[in-house]
Amino acid sequence: MSPAPSCHDALWHATRSELYVIDPASLRIRAANPAACRNTGRDAARLAALSLPDLAPLLGREELDAARDSATALATQFTRADGSRYPVSLRVATVTHDDAVTLLLIADDDGAAAALQRVQARFDAIVSHTPGLVYQFRLDCDGNASFPYVSEGCQALLGLSAAELSAQPERFLELVLCEDRQSYMDSMLSSAGTLWGWNWEGRIWVEAWKDVKWINLRATPHSLPDGAVQWEGIMTNITESKLEQLEVRASRARLAELTAHSEKVKEQERTRIAREIHDDLGGNLTAIKMALAMLSARLPEGDQALHDKAAYVDQLADRTIDAVHRITLDLRPSILDFGLVAALDWQVKEFSAQAGLACSFQSNEKEVELDGDAATALFRIVQEALTNIAKHAQASRVTVRLHCGRQQIGVRITDNGRGIDASDRKKPASFGLRGMAERARALGGTFDVSPATGGGTTVAIKIRRADAGAEATITQS
């Protein structure tokens, strides 16, 4: 026989099992630990006033004696102070207590154990069907990292077993590619410092398959009493979606490059056609007018019909020259040769005369250093924006502002019309807005349309100056 545990024994107080010291003859309860008091709802004094049949009415003396001589646990029920019962698994041992032979009953709550088993089974089922690695990650105050829990998905994702990663947590950081380690560490420390969610994606090298994977890490942090931070989260393989995303970006970049090239070729062709029209047709029409003037001077004075016919042909030649001039300007305004400021000022005045709207142009600089392609693209965006205003805005006033800063050049076109709805921008045939946006993206930037203060619409464009040492970008003003 072994001595009975003392009431001052740490195990007697710390264990979650119910411990009872029972007199073998009377079956009176001589001592009970805190777990017994807690589970039965009685204090130690009340338990000491009971006998075993009061606590376990379904337990017979024969069963108790049989359990004492067997290592097998006995299933029975205990009674709480409120009269309710709960299942327990009971083991009986003979011990010495206060120099007397007594029985030590060790009871474990079968209901709690079963509930724990059910919870564990549900957790295991969820984890096993989760696509990825479920884990706990701990960062101690001294910088040491560990994985208190790692699911079996570790092998499929990282090429390491859960046991290997738990035993050597530093191997995870070794998997992360050198180029991505700094972002991994920065995101981890930021999450630890703020206790905000940790969301990181990066590349790892999986030695088992000699392959690079993209993974996404999402975890929720909480601080521990010792100052450490622990995260619970999941890692997933996002290689396929990431590669698709990168391919989409590359495709968009190629499309933007193609668009820029197409616009450049189109402007070059417009310039060539405009030059040929101006040089050939313009020269021929001028020669025709000179010939008509010579012929008109030699017509008989008395033949009024011939004079009228000559005057009509002369007017027709003038109208044709005006048409050639207008077509040439539409194809490639020669005013662009004098700079963007002069070209925009001319365009706004032309639009005001043609549309009958009050239009104003403002610029904080008289000259802007801008390469020809960028100047032409900005001019075309403004031109298309003014055309849209004339077609759809129902405005009475338009303002065009060119602002040149140290780093950027910006253009804002504002009208006081009916405004633009989000649905208007999504119409299948809304090629005007899309064309402006594509021109902007072809310059390496973006294009923005927003409601104007007081009603109407504002189109805002900004590009980086060529002397700023960066590619052109367009952002909302």
Tally of domains in the chain: 4
Mean pLDDT of the chain: 84
CATH number of the domain at 376, please: 3.30.565.10
Single-letter residue type at 160: L
Distance of alpha carbon 410 from alpha carbon 363, whole angstroms: 10
pLDDT of 198: 95
**Residue 357, token pair as written in the block:** 């709207």
| Candidate from 100-104, 187-191, 270-274, 351-355 with smallest mean pLDDT | 270-274
Domain containing residue 364: 334-468
What's the rounded mean pLDDT across residues 408-433? 77
Q: Is the pLDDT of residue 1 over 50?
A: no
Asked if 389 contacts 374 with a C-beta cutoff of 8 angstroms, the reply is: no
Q: Whole-prediction pTM value?
A: 0.47
Task: With CA atoms as reference, report the closest residue to 92 among 61, 117, 120, 122.
Answer: 61
Residues 326 and 217 both lie in one domain:
no
Burial class (CB in 10 A: 0-12, 13-18, 19+), 92: buried
pLDDT of 426: 62
pLDDT tens profile 212-227 = 999 999 999 999 998 9
Residues 338 and 464 both lie in one domain:
yes
Confidence of residue 425 (pLDDT cuts 50, 70, 90): low
Residues 251 and 322 both lie in one domain:
yes
pLDDT tens profile 114-167 = 666 677 777 777 777 778 899 999 999 999 999 999 998 899 999 999 999 999
Asked if 415 contacts 397 with a C-beta cutoff of 8 angstroms, the reply is: yes
| Candidate from 134-138, 183-187, 368-372, 421-425 with smallest mean pLDDT | 421-425
Number of helices and strands (H, E) in the chain? 17, 16
pLDDT of 427: 64
- 325 in any annotated domain: yes
Residues 340 and 436 both lie in one domain:
yes
- 476 in any annotated domain: no
Confidence of residue 444 (pLDDT cuts 50, 70, 90): low
pLDDT of 445: 67
Residue 111 makes CB contacts below 8 A (sequence gap 6+) with 86, 87
| Helix spans in 20-60 (H) | 34-40, 44-48, 52-55
pLDDT of 7: 42
Residues 180 and 100 both lie in one domain:
no
pLDDT top residue among 61 and 252: 61
Rg (CA), the chain: 44
Q: Is the pLDDT of residue 351 over 60?
A: yes
Confidence of residue 67 (pLDDT cuts 50, 70, 90): confident
| Candidate from 10-14, 35-39, 69-73, 286-290 with smallest mean pLDDT | 69-73
Single-letter residue type at 290: M
Strand order in the sheet with 358-363: 358-363, 397-404, 408-415, 457-464, 448-451
Single-letter residue type at 449: V
pLDDT of 3: 44
Q: Is the pLDDT of residue 469 over 60?
A: no
Residues 147 and 23 both lie in one domain:
no
Residues 34 and 152 both lie in one domain:
no
Q: Is the pLDDT of residue 475 over 50?
A: no
- 473 in any annotated domain: no
| 361 CB-side CA count, 13 A | 18
Residues 430 and 464 both lie in one domain:
yes
pLDDT top residue among 76 and 467: 76
pLDDT top residue among 327 and 126: 327
Report how far apart, in Å, the C-alpha atoms of 186 and of each of 40, 171, 181, 192 are: 51, 18, 9, 10
- 109 in any annotated domain: yes
Residues 141 and 227 both lie in one domain:
yes
Residues 457 and 346 both lie in one domain:
yes
- 125 in any annotated domain: no
- 121 in any annotated domain: no
pLDDT of 422: 67
- Out of 314, 331, 348, a domain closes at 331
pLDDT of 115: 66
* Percent of residues, the chain, with pLDDT higher than 70: 91
pLDDT of 116: 63
| Candidate from 23-27, 60-64, 107-111 with smallest mean pLDDT | 107-111
- Out of 115, 141, 171, a domain closes at 115
- 446 in any annotated domain: yes
Q: Is the pLDDT of residue 176 over 70?
A: yes
pLDDT top residue among 56 and 250: 56
pLDDT of 428: 60
pLDDT tens profile 405-419 = 887 788 999 999 888
pLDDT tens profile 243-299 = 888 888 888 778 777 777 777 787 778 778 878 887 788 888 888 888 888 888 888
Residues 223 and 343 both lie in one domain:
no
pLDDT tens profile 71-87 = 778 889 999 999 999 88
CATH number of the domain at 156, please: 3.30.450.20
- Out of 284, 313, 331, a domain closes at 331
Residues 352 and 464 both lie in one domain:
yes
Report how far apart, in Å, the C-alpha atoms of 21 and of each of 160, 172, 424, 451 are: 50, 51, 84, 83
- 148 in any annotated domain: yes
